[in-house]
Structures are given as C-alpha cells and as structure tokens.
Structure 1
Amino acid sequence: MDFELPEEHRAFRDMVRRWVDNECPKDWARKLEADEHNYPHALWEKFSEAGFHGIGIDEEFGGQGGDVVMQMLLARELARSLGGLSWIWGITSFAGTKSIGLYGTPEQKAKYLPRIAAGELKAAISFTEPAGGTDVLGSLTTTADKVDGGWVINGEKIWSSSAHVADYLLVLARTDRNVEKKHQGLTLFWVPAKSDGVKITNLPKLGMRSMGSSSVVYDNVFVADENVLAEPNRAWYTLLPTLNNERIMVGAFCLGVIDGVLEDALAYMMQRKAFGKFIGQFQILQHYVADIATMQRTTELLLHSCADKQARGENVGTDANMLKLFASENANKAADMGIQILGGMGYSAETDMQRYWRDSRLWRIGPITNEMVRNGIAESLGLPRSF
C-alpha cells in the first residue's frame, strides 16, 4: 500500500502552505479571531482571490476541480494557522459546493456554483434546533407547508455559523408529519437569508469568535419551489453522503491544528530558557512533543485513508466516525499540552495555543458529539443501538 501523495496533490499542498505563511500568518489570525463583533471579510476575500472557493467545483461551473483529497489538504493547511477560522471556507464548501454540487438540479448548479466558486456567495447550515443538539431528527420541529408556488417555513435553528453574513441558508425542515420513522418526511431548502420572516441573532461563544454563530427564527418564510434541493420528503437519504464528507473535513481541520501546535511548541522550546537551560532539554517536555508528533502522524494516516476511500466511492461511514473522534480528541489534547509547554504564555492571548484549544474543543461536540460517534461505531460492530 502506497501512503505517499501523488505529485499533483503534493504540489497543491506545498502551494497552499506557502500561501498560508504569506497571506494568513498566525499573528493576523489571532487579531481576526479576537474581534467577535466583525466577520473577517478580508479573509474571505483572500480565499476568493486564491480560488479556494472553487476547489471541488467542476471547471464547467467556474471551479478549480479537485477531489476530496485535495479539499482535505486545503483544510489541513488552512487550519495550521487559522484554526477554527478555516470554517469560513468550510461552511460554504459544505452547504453550497457539496450540497448543490452533489444533488442540485442542472438549473441550480448553473445558477449557484459559479457564484460560489468566485466567492460571490456565502452560505450557512441551518440544521440544529434549540432543544436538540446532536439529536437532529428527534428534536426537529421546524416545518414547511406546501402552498401555491412554494413552501412556508416556521421554526427556529441554533448555532448556525456565519448566518448573519450568509446569502443563503441550507435549512432542514419537516414536510410530512405522518411518517413511521423520524428520518422520513424531511426536505432541504436553499433559503435566501434576507427573506421576509427570517430573524438572525448572534450568540456569544468560547471560540471561533469572529466567524459568528447565530440563532435563526423562521416566521412564515416563503420559499419558492425552485429552492427545494433534491427530492421532497427524502432529505435524510440525500444528506448521508455529505455528512461523511463533513466529518472527514473536521478531521482535516483538527490535523491542521495539531500541525500548528507542534510547530509552535518546538519553536518555543528551542528559544525559552529556565533553570539555566533551554526548556527543550527537559525530558518531560520532550515526551509531550513526542506524543503530539505521534498524534499528528496517526491522525494523518487515518485522514488520508478515509479521504482516499471516499474519493474512490467506497463506504466510509464508520471510518469517517473514527477519524472525527480520533482527530478531535487528539487536537484538543495536543493544544492542552501546548498550553502546558508554554506555561503562562500558553494561557496568554498573545500566543496561539489558547486559540487552538478553544477552537478544537468545539470539534469534540460538533457536528456530532464524540459520545454519539462512539455509539455509531459500536453499532457498526454489531452491538445493539444504545439510544
């Protein structure tokens, strides 16, 4: 088995790494992330100029092309410096590129994909409900009722990241109340964010501050039939392949965080002195970085295996769950070790360790909690469902 990337992917990775170092250095990322009241439009524009919004979009729609492996290489390299701010690219990539690109109609693809590729359209995901969290299906109360020419949506969503600057919201709503199972009777809508009846309120949070996360209330919001994605009442079957992609993307972001943590820890250990010597000579700190490096390598192998399988069209449901679980816990543990290595400076907002820790802490919760991921893995091994 060949664990090396092909030349095309290596060249792309190296190009993105140089771009990140030149265009998105860590000191700038710290300033962007700290300003929770202002969305970093300048970062979005940098992604647009670099053509990153077009990764994964076919050239016929103005994109750069590229498979899932290339998308994950981009996610990893962005997160090494940007941490959770990488989601600014990832959200629209998932909500727009993946959703419309995979199950949009020819008309929807022609209308929206060129705008996404050019960086002219921002999207946000609107799935989670206030009483639900990971229990998306069991808690889903948002409804959409058929009317002449479209649908009327009523309900509330929460933790919809970047909704306050989005042009469109990818909304999951119940369209059939008379179903035997919770995953039936659901429909996906591509809702213009400025529609009458949409109210967006920002929510303060621990990390990824400037990106913004919001509650979104839908009060008799009309959505035209042309803004229904895929087949009505069968949204869950449509979503499943893209949910695997989202978990692989989280794994890539987490690996990028581990890269950044290790990079910063080594640099600090080779210039900081205590007790008359560089702290890089202290055995316990050497053990910490050895552990972080091992986390980095094992997460990398699992990510590449998972992304390669999905690129070849294989079923990666359990693998994607394992990756999300392993990568998020490694990233958060590595960032915690990084804070310990830097001591007081690790806790300081003047360095990046605290930012890596705050951002990676979310990935143990979303887009699905690691407890639920473990349930899914156990069930895939033949054990009875525990929830």
Structure 2
Amino acid sequence: MDFNLTEEQIAFRDVVRRWVDAELPKDLMRKLEADEENYPFEIWDKLKEQGYFGVGISEEYGGLGGDVIMQMIFAREMARTAGGLLWVWGLTSFGGAHSVAIAGSEEQKQRWLPEMAAGNLRVSLSMTEPDGGTDVLGAMKTFADKVDGGWKLNGAKMWTTGAKVADRLLVLARCDRNAEKKHHGLIALFVDAKSPGISASLLPKLGMRAMGSCEVHYEDVFVPDEDVLGEPGKAWGAMLPSLNNERIMVGAQCLGAIDGVLEDALDYMMQRKAFGGVIGRFQILQHYIADIATSQKVTELLLYNVAWMQSNGMPCGTDANMLKMVATENAVKAADLGIQIMGGMGYSAETDMQRYWRDHRILRMTPISNEMVRNSIAENLGLPRSF
C-alpha cells in the first residue's frame, strides 16, 4: 500500500508551497488575523487571482478539477502559514462548492459552481443552533415553512463564519415539525445573504479572529424554491457524504499547522542562545522537537490513508473521525510545545506559536467535539450508544 504522492500531486504541492511563501507569509497572516473587525479580503483577492478557489471543483463548471487529495494538499500548504485563515478558501471552495456539487441540481451547479470557482461568490455555513453546539439536530429550532413559490425561514444560528461578507448562506433548517426522527424533515437552503430579514452580529473569540464568526438571525426570510438544495425533508441524508471530507480538511489544516510549528521551533532553537550556546543543544528541547515531528508523521499517515480511502469510494467514517480527533489534539499539543520552546517569545503576539495554538484549539470542539468522536468510534466497535 503506497500513500506517496504522484508526480502530478508533488508538482502541484511545490507550486502551491512557493506561492504561499511568496504571497501569504506568516508576518502578513499575523497582521490580518489580529484585526478582528475586518475580513481579510487581501487573502481572498490573492486566491482569486491565482484561481485557487477552483481546486476540487470540476473543470466542467470552471474549476481546476482534482479530488479530495488535491484539496488536502492545498489545505496543508496554506495552513502552514495561514493557520485558521485557511477557511477564507475553505468555506467557499470546499464547504459551499462541495455541498452544491453533492446535493444541487444541474441548473444549480451551472448557476453557482462557476461563480465559486472564479472567486466571485462567497459562502458561509449556517448550521449550529444557539442551544445546540454538537447536538445540531436535537436542538434544531430554525424552521422553514412552505409558502407560495418558496419557503419562509425563521430562527437563529451561531458561529456562522464570514456571514457579514457572504453572498450565500448555506442554512440547515427543519421543514417538518412532526418528523418522527430528528434527522428527518430537514431542508438545506442556499440563501441569498442580502435577503430582507437577515441580521448578523460579530462574536469576539480567541482564535481565527479575522474570519468574523457571527450570530445570525432569520426573520421571515423568503427563500425561493430554486434555492433549495436537494429534496425538502431529506437534507441530512444529502449532507452526510460531505462529513468525511470535512474531517479530512480539518486533518489537513492541523497537519499544516504542525508543519509551521516545527519549522518555527527549529529555526528558533538554532538561533536563540543561552548559557553559552544555542538552545538547540538542550536535551529536553530536543525531546519536544522529537514529539512534534512524531505527531507530524502520525497525522500525515492517518490523513493520507483516510484521503486515499475517500477518493477510492471506500467506507471511512470511523477512520475520518479518528483522523479528526488525532489531528486536532496533535496540532494543539505541538503548538503548546512550540510555545514552551520559545518561552516568552512563543507567548508574544509578535510570533506565530500563540496563533497556531489559538486557531486550532477550537477544532477539538468543532465541527464535532472530540468527546463525541470518541463516543462514535466506541459505538462503531459494538459498544452501546452513550447519548
């Protein structure tokens, strides 16, 4: 079993890596991330100019093509410097485009995918309920009621990242108030973000600050039938295929962050001097580096394995959950060790270690908490359901 990249994939990785180093350097990412009030349009414009929003979107719809492995390669390379700002690319090119490609009609694909591939349409995902967190379905209080020519949407969502600058909001709502099971009776709406009745307010947070996560309220928002993805009432089943891809992208982001942590830690250890020489000679710091490098390799092998399984159409739900759990915990631990290695400078906003820690700490809780991931893994091993 060979998980080495092909020549084409290596060439793509090298091109992206050179572009990231030239256009998305870490000092620029620090500057943009620190400004919580303003969305980093500069990153968006650079991605658009290079055509990278087309990664993973079929050439038939104006994209660059490529499977989940190509998206994984891009996400890893970008996250090495950008950290959580990766989602300037990911929300649209991965989140929005993937959902439309899976659940959308041919007319919807023709209407939206070329615009996303060109970087002309910005997408935000509006799923989490204020009282729900991980329990998205059980806490669903956002409703879409059928009206003439479309649906009337009412409710509220939390952590809708990029909502203030979005062109479209992918909203999951309940359309059957009498559904017997909580995963039944759901509808996916690709809502025009400028529709009357939508209001968004910024949620200050620890990391990924410039991405602008929002609480969004929907009050009698009219959504035409033509903006419904898939069949009303069956949205959850239509969205499930995207969950493994989401976990793969989280794994790729975390691996990219570990890459960035390791290169910064090594550079610092070879330059910083104390007690008569560089601190890279200290055994305990060498052990920290060995731990980071090992977590990098473990995450890489698991990521490549799951991406390979997904691209070959193999069942990989449990494996994708394992990847999400391991990658997020490895990234946070690596960044924490990086801060320890750099001491006060690791804690300083003038360096990136603290940013890597802040940006990836949230991923231990989202899009599903690692505690719930462990529950799912145990259940798939034959143990009784714990919730």
Shorter-chain TM-score bucket reads over 0.9
Measure the CA separation in 1 of the matches of 2:93 and 2:316: 19
| Map of 1:347 onto structure 2 | 347
In structure 1, C-alpha distance between the alignment counterparts of 2:326 and 2:227, rounded to whole Å: 37
Residue of structure 2 in register with 1:124 after alignment = 124
| Partner secondary structure for residue 271 of structure 2 | coil
Which residue of structure 1 lines up, in the alignment, with residue 235 of structure 2? 235
Tell me the distance in 1 between the aligned counterparts of 2:241 and 2:315: 9
Query: Do structure 1's residue 356 and structure 2's residue 376 form an aligned pair?
Result: no
Q: Aligned residue for 1:309?
A: 309
Equivalence for 1:210: 210
- 1:264-321 CA distance string (max 9 Å, x none): 0000000000111110000000000000000001100000000111111111110110
- Unmatched segments (≥5 aa) in structure 2: none
Whether the 8 Å CA contact 1:152–1:222 is kept in 2: the answer is yes
Residue type at the aligned position of 2:350? E
Q: Give the Cα–Cα distance (whole angstroms) in 1 for the partners of residues 198 and 162 of structure 2.
A: 14
The answer for the alignment partner of 1:32 in structure 2 is 32
**Does the Cα contact within 8 Å between 2:102 and 2:238 map onto a contact in 1?**
no
Q: Paired residue for 1:8?
A: 8
TM superposition shift of 1:191: 0.3
Mapped to 2, the partners of 1:3 and 1:235 lie a distance apart of: 34
8 Å CA contact 2:160, 2:214 repeated in 1: yes
AA matched with 1:130: P
Name the counterpart of 2:72: 72
Letter in 2 for 1:125: L
Alpha-carbon distance in 1 for matches of 2:315, 2:5: 21
Q: Percent identity?
A: 67
Structure 2 counterpart of 1:166, one-letter code: A
Contact 1:34 1:210 in 2 (8 A): yes
Match of 1:266? 266
Instruction: Give RMSD over aligned pairs.
Output: 0.6
Whole-Å separation in 1 of the counterparts to 2:230 and 2:37: 35
Using structure 2 for the length normalisation, give the TM-score.
0.99
> Deviations for 1:38-62, whole angstroms, at most 9, x for unmatched residues?
1110100111111110011111211
Tell me if structure 1 keeps the 8 A contact 2:152–2:221.
yes
Task: Describe the SS at the equivalent of 2:160.
Answer: strand
Deviation (angstroms), 1:4 = 1.1
In 2: Cα distance, 1:136 partner to 1:157 partner: 10
8 Å Cα contact 2:258-2:334 kept in structure 1? yes
Give 5+ residue unaligned stretches, structure 1: none
* Aligned-partner residue type, residue 381 of structure 1: L
Amino acid at match of 1:210: A
- Give 3-state SS (helix, strand or coil) of 1:169's partner: strand
Runs of 4+ in 1 over 4 A off after TM superposition: none
Tell me what 2:249 maps to.
Answer: 249
Structure 1 residue 219 and structure 2 residue 195: aligned? no
Q: CA deviation at 1:369?
A: 0.5
Q: TM-score, normalised by structure 1?
A: 0.99
Alignment of 1:33-182 (within 5 A): 33-182=33-182
Q: Quick check: 2:76–2:255 contact (8 Å CA) kept in 1?
A: yes
Aligned to 1:190: 190
Q: CA deviation at 1:93?
A: 2.3
1:57-76 CA distance string (max 9 Å, x none): 11121100001000000000
Question: How far apart are residue 137 of structure 1 and its match?
Answer: 0.5
Match of 1:296 in 2: 296
Q: CA deviation at 1:101?
A: 1.2
SS in 2 for 1:382: coil
Rounded Cα–Cα distance in structure 2 between residues aligned with 1:146 and 1:132: 24
CA distance in 1, matches of 2:300, 2:8: 18
Distance 1:210 1:96 in 2: 20
Deviation at 1:82, TM superposition (A): 0.3
Amino acid at match of 1:72: M
Number of matched pairs: 387
- The residue number in structure 1 matching 2:375 is 375
Q: CA deviation at 1:170?
A: 0.2
Q: Distance in 2 between matches of 1:27 and 1:17?
A: 16
